[in-house]
Structure 1
Amino acid sequence: MLSREDNELLCRVGPGTPVGALMRRFWHPVCTSAQLPQPDCAPLRVRLLGENYVAFRDSDGKVGFLEELCMHRGASLALGRVEEGGIRCLYHGWKFSASGTVMETPNHADPKYAARLKAPAFPVREEGGIVWAYVGPQDQVPAFSRYAFMDAEPAHRVVLRINVACNYLQLVEGGEDSSHVGVLHTNMARPGWKDDEFTRNPDVVNPAALASNDLEPVLKIETTTFGFHYVALRKTDDPAVRNARVVPFIVPYGRIIPAPAFLFTVLEVPEDDTHTSTFIVVHGNAPVTEDKIIELLGLNDPNYYDRKNCTFTASWLDSFGQNRELMKENWTGLRGVEVEDASIGLSQGPLYDRSREHLVPADQAVVRVRRVLLDAVKAVAEGRQPAALGLDLSGVGACDALLEEGDAWQDLLPSHRQTAAA
């Protein structure tokens, strides 16, 4: 159980909040590259950490990330014209470059005046099919952290964004909760559950395709410099062998989930206290298509997902589309990994009060998420560097493998050894 005070502390991300200060020390995904498909395309309004921004791709293909409201009279630049190397406000025609340079001020055409000004612009990187921005203290810009998916061939990688109307921590904790996989995702995780039989799901792309029918995994956790990683040990038919599912938590909101042939990197980026942009990147050593992942996640139904606006659209208005008749054969009455995960997160309300819960040993990783974030908040408040900041994360991964009795689970991912904290 988390106290109401700590729950409020961890969930509030706006300017002037402790977690807001922590979050602003990191680079964040702000949109997918596909949302800015070509030079001079329509700009994109972005909500991040309780503040509004505009992202645009200029005539040379460079991405700019500015405060949304024009510095002249406060009109939204998200309505602006993107042309001739910059973005132009509709109200009075003031034009800004991707770096914030004031290029034109038509209603006061004095070049000396424009030269004295600069629009609030923020550092941007475009890597791995995602546009990243840093909106924290400009004298403390950290090194950009690389993930393994950034080096994958484009045909071997799919990048999705799903906007969900609940607090980021609900989605983070769901992702770090291994015991929910075999229950919430029963139809995909444990085919044959209706007949009390277990046959492994043969879909090598599905992250819910468990190798064990054990619903009570034993967790072991180790602190690392990126946050922590843990193993969920499940029983197999051989008493001397366990199924070992290793998952990292990367401060402030990242995780990597193993599928038999692919890795799912998931980043739960807070738009504000009650809205989250979930970025999911699937990569591996074989081709994978967006349509395949969309179908797997259950997002191919327009009642659940607006692909144009990247928004999860199901709600309590229709009980998230749950089909009670379907529940005779389908555990949840829902279809798809993300549909099930997002629906559960939304069912907790926009901002869940954790002081009301009752925890069990299978929730250890969820508890560790909270502890690690509280430690990171304290580090920033004391002027110290939080975990994961500026680290090269390309060696951080996940796995689902067999582990013989006496073997160290850490050996399943030797690349994590260099990041394990003393």
Structure 2
Amino acid sequence: MLSQQDNELLCRVGPGTPGGAMMRRFWHPVCTSAQLPEPDCPPLRVRLLGEDYVAFRDSSGRVGLLEELCMHRGASLALGRVEEGGIRCLYHGWKFSATGAVMETPNHADPKYTARMKAPAFPVREEGGIVWAYVGPKELEPAFSRYAFMDVEPEHRVVLRINVSCNYLQLVEGGEDSSHVGVLHTNMARPGWKDNAFTRNPDVVNPAALASNDLEPALKIEDTAFGFHYVALRKTDTPRVQNARVVPFIVPYGRIIPAPAYQFTVLEVPADDTHTSTFLVIHGKEPVNEERIIELLGLNDPMYYNRKTCTFTASWTNSFGQDRAYMKESWTGLRGVEVEDAAIGLSQGPLYDRSREHLVPADQAVTRVRRVMLEAVRRAGEGGPLRALGLDLRGVSACDADLEEGSAWQDLLPSHRETPLA
């Protein structure tokens, strides 16, 4: 269990909160590049860490992130005109560049006035099909952290965004919980379960396709420069050989999940205390078929997902689309990895009270997430160094492999010990 006080520390991310101060030390995804598809396209409202912004792509293709409300009289710039190298407020025509420079003030056409004014604007990077921004103190801006998926060709990468109406930590903990994979994702993880027989799922794209029927994995955990990584060791039919599934946790909300053909990088970005934007990047050595991924995740059904708004649409009003008749064949009565994960996170409520839970040894990675994050909140409050901050993360990965008895699981991903400071 987690005390209510510590739960509040980790879950509250708005301005003025200890958790929010820690979060504001990092670069964050704010939207996908596809959400701003071309120069002068419609602007996009962005909710991040309990505050509102507007993102836009100017006439040259550069992306800017400003506070949503115009510095003049507070009208939303998300209604504005994106044209001629900037974004123009509809109310009085004030126009701003991607860097916040005041370009025009039609109702006070004094060039000296515009020259000394500047709208609140934030550093932006566009990498790996994602627009990233830093919204913390200027004097503490860290180096930008690169992930492996940023270095592959665009056709070898698919980037998705799924907006879910619950606290980010519920989704983070679900992702770091290896024992749930063989249960919640039973149909994909353990085909043949209805006949009490294990048949390995041959789908090389599916991250829930387990190599073992063992539902009680033994966990071993090790702290790292980026947070921690752990191995879930499952029994196999081969003597003296275990299945080893290694997953990292990257402060403050990242993880990488292995599939035979691809790596699934997942970033659970807090929009506010009760809303999260899940950024999911699938990449590998071969081209990635977006429609195949969408189907695998269960997001091809509009009952679950609005592809235009990136919103997970299932809720208690329709029991998350659960089909009770389908449960004769499906463990959950749901369809798709992401649908199952999001439904469980939402079922815990907007912000889960962890003081009421009862943990078991299989929850060790979940408790380590909390410990590492509480450490990050404390260090941020003291002005100390934070794990993962400014690191080059291209060497951070995940794997699912056989491990002979007596072998070191850390040797499966030696780069985790070598991740350098930027």
**Offset of residue 417 of structure 1:** 1.6
Number of corresponding residues: 421
Give the structure 2 partner of residue 32 of structure 1: 32
Q: Is the 8 A contact 1:14 1:20 kept in 2?
A: yes
**Offset of residue 191 of structure 1:** 0.3
Q: Is the 8 A contact 1:223 1:420 kept in 2?
A: no
Give the structure 1 partner of residue 137 of structure 2: 137
What secondary structure sits across from 1:343 in the alignment? helix
**Offset of residue 419 of structure 1:** 3.7
Give the structure 2 partner of residue 105 of structure 1: 105
Q: Is the 8 A contact 1:403 1:409 kept in 2?
A: yes
Q: Is the 8 A contact 1:263 1:282 kept in 2?
A: yes
* Corresponding letter in the other structure for 2:400: D
Give the structure 2 partner of residue 359 of structure 1: 359
Structure 1 residue runs of 4 or more that deviate by more than 6 Å after TM superposition? none
What secondary structure sits across from 2:244 in the alignment? strand
* Corresponding letter in the other structure for 1:80: G
Give the structure 2 partner of residue 6 of structure 1: 6
1:337-416 → structure 2 map (5 Å cutoff): 337-416=337-416
Give TM-score, length-normalised by structure 1: 0.99
Q: Is the 8 A contact 1:224 1:420 kept in 2?
A: no
* Corresponding letter in the other structure for 1:142: P
Between stretches 285-294 and 304-313, larger displacement belongs to 285-294
* Corresponding letter in the other structure for 2:326: L
Q: Distance in 1 between matches of 2:13 and 2:189?
A: 34
Q: Distance in 2 between matches of 1:48 and 1:266?
A: 17
Q: Deviations over 1:356-377 (max 9, x none)?
A: 0000000000000000000011
Mind listing any 5+ residue stretches in structure 2 that lack a counterpart?
none
**Offset of residue 82 of structure 1:** 0.1
Give the structure 1 partner of residue 88 of structure 2: 88
Q: Distance in 2 between matches of 1:290 and 1:164?
A: 20
**Offset of residue 111 of structure 1:** 0.5
Give the structure 2 partner of residue 283 of structure 1: 283
* Corresponding letter in the other structure for 1:112: K
**Offset of residue 199 of structure 1:** 1.0
Q: Distance in 1 between matches of 2:298 and 2:207?
A: 13
**Offset of residue 420 of structure 1:** 9.5
**Offset of residue 65 of structure 1:** 0.3
Give the structure 2 partner of residue 196 of structure 1: 196
**Offset of residue 418 of structure 1:** 1.3
Mind listing any 5+ residue stretches in structure 1 that lack a counterpart?
none
Q: Distance in 1 between matches of 2:169 and 2:28?
A: 16
* Corresponding letter in the other structure for 2:192: G
Q: Deviations over 1:335-357 (max 9, x none)?
A: 00000000000000000000000
Give the structure 2 partner of residue 261 of structure 1: 261
Q: Distance in 2 between matches of 1:226 and 1:394?
A: 11
Name the Cα RMSD after superposition.
Answer: 0.9
**Offset of residue 397 of structure 1:** 0.1
Q: Distance in 2 between matches of 1:380 and 1:339?
A: 34
Q: Distance in 1 between matches of 2:383 and 2:317?
A: 46
1:123-134 → structure 2 map (5 Å cutoff): 123-134=123-134
* Corresponding letter in the other structure for 1:191: P
Q: Distance in 2 between matches of 1:222 and 1:297?
A: 30
Q: Is the 8 A contact 2:392 2:419 kept in 1?
A: no
1:171-320 → structure 2 map (5 Å cutoff): 171-320=171-320
1:48 aligns with 2:51: no
**Offset of residue 152 of structure 1:** 1.1
Q: Is the 8 A contact 1:222 1:420 kept in 2?
A: no
What secondary structure sits across from 2:410 in the alignment? helix
Q: Deviations over 1:143-171 (max 9, x none)?
A: 00000000111111000000000000000
* Corresponding letter in the other structure for 2:100: G
1:325 aligns with 2:325: yes
* Corresponding letter in the other structure for 1:136: G
